[in-house]
Amino acid sequence: MGQIMKLRLGTGRRAWATLATLALALTGGIAVATPALAAPNTAVFTKVQDWGTGWEGKFVITNGGTTAINGWSVAFDLPAGSNIGSFWDAAMTRSGQRFTFTNVGWNGTINPGATASFGFNGSPGGAGAVVSNCTLNGASCAGGTPPGTPGTPGTPSVTGTTNTSISLSWGASTGTVTGYRVYEGSTVRATVTGTSATVGSLGTCTTHTYTVRAYNNNGESASSGSVTGSTTGCPPTGGKMPGAPYLYMGWGDPPAPATVMAATGVKSFTMAFILSSGGCNPAWDGNRPLTGGADAAAITAIKNAGGSVQISFGGWQGNKLGPNCSTPAAFAGAVQQVINAVGPAVVDFDIENFDEFENYTVQDRILNGLKIVKQNNPNVKVVVTFGTTTTGPNSHGIRLINQSKALNVPIDNYTIMPFDFGSGNIQQDTINASEGLKNALKAAWGWTDAQAYAHMGISGMNGLSDQQELTTTAAWTAIRDWAKSKGLTRFAYWSVNRDRPCPGGGVVSNCSGISQNNWDFTRITAGF
């Protein structure tokens, strides 16, 4: 939800050339090539400086194609007696005078029109700084493929999956073909003579992206388009969660949770928010420790009173982990730190701000990270929370849902935030938005109405919202009863801090802006 998001009251919610030799100019960064045969992907070398005893070199890899490069490898020869010492933004291996540089984790994907670069220091300078026979992913650095190599295979498709394998098939290449190699990034996962393969020994509930290249005695073809597939065996999703209003210890005169529990019967709270304290390091609100502070004390009190907690990551404002963690594995590692420290029943990923919700690179990073989280914590439910229109998720929300299916992410619950519409009837708008979410889930996953409802949640805003929409206790009760009747599995609101009266008080951090009793919305939520 958000800490009164619009008011910013703290952290809120919401080459081709001859095969024998390819010499690249050392002073102008120009790849010597035959333009009419040039292929779109190139790796261009520039000698940055030469001080006699040594020299600095740099390669810039450009994706001029229409599909992403997923993993790259640049290899070249240096004259006898030449060596490379330090290097950066790549990993290096050496075989005689042939040096091979491959991407590191964060720069392996190059989208169409984008570039990646790496550099190194060599010795000696002068005649020792001559790069030759350069290849990019097996093809000439200046684009194209060597004469006589096969044509590009058709884009593969996934034909079957098990817990440990993914089967593929693709269209045959033109020309003379000895066989095909299936690549995951720059690593060969299978070599076959036909146009199908099964990649085995994979992890359960894991996602993999593959390309195919044909080869013969003259060399390899260009890479096919890519396909992404996932193994089966993901833990079952779904299951009802107790009503869990948001509790935020960073402002708004946070109440003692055990007192609220005793007064209302509520058994769970959604604790907000986990943010980045710098890089891929989690902290409460980006600055409070995971253990030993007010948040940890509140969680202990909740558990001691027989309750459970949901932990919310993200929100509208603040420095998020999604953009700061460079890989899905790093993101999952940050989440694991929180799980280990807190022991939550649920982890909630509030993906609403532009840097996560509308940045599809980050969106995919989070989704792939959640697969790891679920695989390592099968008993912890995974929720994604995002905004909505009055008719259901917008294009970014639809993309999130469809991509979660494409990547086979075992999300237990998709929760929408039906408020900040600007006007209208909040009760009917919430129901309409929820029905739109149901239809999107059915379209993506092939679920029935009941299956879709069982993967849905509502997270509202009590009293007056940021845009002065009114949710009364009667409206919240009706929304709750509708959610129960349809079998929704999560129910929350922002926030317990605001579940106190202040009629005519406007939108503030510690009361609802309406006339009510203390904890009225929490009592209603507990009835879920």
Sorted by sequence, the CB contacts under 8 Å of residue 165 that are 6+ apart come out as: 198, 199, 200, 201, 202, 231
- β-partners of residue 116 are 61
pLDDT tens digits along 40-70: 689 999 988 989 899 999 999 998 877 789 8
* Catalytic choice (184, 220, 352, 469): 352
CA-based max dimension of the chain? 85
Q: What are the structure tokens assigned to 457, written together?
A: 């949640």
DSSP class of residue 509 equals: S
Is residue 106 within 8 Å of 327, Cβ to Cβ?
yes
- β-partners of residue 324 are none
What is the per-residue pLDDT for 219?
78
- 473-486 and 426-445 helices cross at what angle (nearest 10)? 20
What is the per-residue pLDDT for 146?
62
Q: What are the structure tokens assigned to 398, written together?
A: 């639809």
Provide DSSP, 44-57. Answer: EEEEEEE-SS-EEE
For the chain, list the domains and their CATH numbers: 35-140 (2.60.40.290), 157-230 (2.60.40.10), 234-526 (3.20.20.80)
Say how many CA atoms lie within 13 Å of 123 toward its Cβ.
Answer: 4
Residue 23 has pLDDT above 60, yes or no: no
Stretch 514-521: mean pLDDT, rounded?
Answer: 96
Catalytic residue at 352? Answer: yes
pLDDT tens digits along 197-245: 999 998 877 788 899 999 998 778 888 998 888 887 776 666 899 999 9
Is residue 311 within 8 Å of 323, Cβ to Cβ?
no
Closest CA to 29 of 134, 139, 137, 146: 134
Q: What are the structure tokens assigned to 67, written together?
A: 């599909």
Is residue 177 within 8 Å of 242, Cβ to Cβ?
no
Residue 71 has pLDDT above 60, yes or no: yes
- 395-406 and 360-376 helices cross at what angle (nearest 10)? 40
Which backbone phi and psi does 525 adopt, to 5 degrees?
-65, -40
Is residue 320 within 8 Å of 367, Cβ to Cβ?
no
Look-up: residue for tokens 């989280």?
373
What is the per-residue pLDDT for 125?
87
What is the per-residue pLDDT for 28?
35
Closest CA to 314 of 297, 291, 333, 331: 331
Sorted by sequence, the CB contacts under 8 Å of residue 284 that are 6+ apart come out as: 249, 250, 273, 274, 275, 290, 293, 295
For 302, 522, 525, the CA distances from 265, given in Å and listed in that order, are 12, 9, 10
Q: What are the structure tokens assigned to 110, written together?
A: 């190059």
pLDDT tens digits along 431-487: 999 999 999 999 999 999 999 999 999 999 999 987 888 999 999 999 999 999 999
What is the per-residue pLDDT for 345?
95
What is the per-residue pLDDT for 30?
32
Instruction: Name residue 281's amino acid.
Output: N
Task: Answer whether the bond into residue 269 is a cis peptide, omega within 30°.
Answer: no
Residue 13 has pLDDT above 50, yes or no: no
What is the per-residue pLDDT for 231?
82
